[in-house]
Amino acid sequence: MKSAIKTSCMLIKKLLTVIFVAFVVLGLSTSVNAQNSAKIYLFYGTGCPHCAEVLDFFEKENLFARYPVEKKEIYFDRDNAVLFNRVLDNLGIPENERGVPTVVIGNKVIVGDKPIIANFVSEADNFLGESADTTSSQKLDNAKEKQNLDLTLPAVIAGALVDAINPCEFAVLIILMTTILASGNSRKALYSGLFFAASVFISYFLMGLGLYRALSLGSVSNWFFKIIGWVAIVLGLANLKDYFWYGKGFLMEVPISWRPRLKGLIHSITGPLGAFFIGFLVSLFLLPCTSGPYIVILGMLAKKTFDTQAVSYLILYNLIFVSPMIVISWLVYKGFDPSKAEEIRQKRLRVLHLITGIVMLAMGVVILVGWI
């Protein structure tokens, strides 16, 4: 048993290494984006007649060659739209005052074709010549500091950890391992657990990617983002209810009426291949129990991140989500009794709901306060 624990610790270290690498990659991408606030941007939309006037003016006056201007089309390029809102959020521009064409020169925002044509050259000259201006530098530092308060990555990790300790997930895996171990083949049980974890990872990643794309196409607005914050608070309170009054009213777990069919599916598994395919179906049963944090995080990503960042976040989220499945599969392979795991799960049910409730409440508050 000691060797099993030692081996599982090594496995956990490897998983943490993967998560750490993802941290570094995402951190670098965030730092690159933080530097964007010092540039001159021209945000426009294809098909916008006022934007066409500004673009024509810039071309005639050769302004793209004379000034370090970055053109950003926001109607058909979501990453540019996210950047547009992120820059204006940092500069405190309300949503009802945003539109295209917009020029951002340092901390100066000019909206509309006539104001841009009339003021761009003077404002750009002032911006490029005031590098020694302490006041301007201080404003820029404040904008960067505000951006550095972005807690999206910690929120993704917190939400994934909440999902990872979900009692539903543990219950399903324990039933699976008990079923496979009945054949007396521990190696088959290990492979079945790993294949099951792989299928859950794939299904949750694809479902998350699909919902993220749907939310992205709908251009998540600030009011919808606030709704997501309130959803997180409601889910947090529901889990706290399960801690103080477990079994009263509804449960933040797989509905009781679904459980016989879920167990029947799992008991039909005879090996790794079956575990892989059943994992996709079981994921649907787990959705009512585990989708809360996921939906909150997806709404956050649709509002706050670029497409490449969002995919990285989704991979990280789901790696954390399935990591307990991998660890438990390995422990069982090394001799850990699944019945003991079920006993531990039953004793810790309320505590798991308490942790989930606290984290979800914190995420809701962070969203509503505007720290994300």
Residue 54 pLDDT: 93
The helix-helix angle for 186-217 and 272-304 (nearest 10°) equals 30
pLDDT per residue over 292-313, tens digit each?
788 888 888 877 777 788 889 9
Q: Evaluate whether 188 touches 286 at the Cβ level (below 8 Å).
A: no
Banded model confidence at residue 29, pLDDT cuts 50, 70, 90:
very low
Banded model confidence at residue 144, pLDDT cuts 50, 70, 90:
very low
CA–CA distance, 249 with 266 (Å, rounded to integer): 27
Residue 109 pLDDT: 93
Higher pLDDT, 315 or 136: 315
> Which has the minimum average pLDDT: 7-11, 42-46, 124-128, 277-281?
7-11
Q: Which whole number is the average pLDDT over 127-144? A: 53
pLDDT per residue over 146-160, tens digit each?
444 567 788 888 888
Token output for 253: 């777990």
**For the chain, domain boundaries:** 2-33+150-369, 39-148
Residue 255 pLDDT: 60
Q: Which whole number is the average pLDDT over 14-24? A: 49
Coil, helix or strand at residue 279: helix
Neighbouring C-beta atoms of residue 62, cutoff 10 Å: 9
Query: Going by C-beta distance under 8 Å and a sequence separation of 6 or more, which residues neighbour residue 20?
Result: none
> Domain 39-148, CATH 1.10.3720.10 — does that match?
no
Residue 315 pLDDT: 93
What are the two backbone dihedrals, phi and then psi, of residue 12, each rounded to the nearest 5 degrees? -65, -40
Tell me the β-bridge partners of 42.
Answer: 71, 103
Prediction pTM value: 0.64
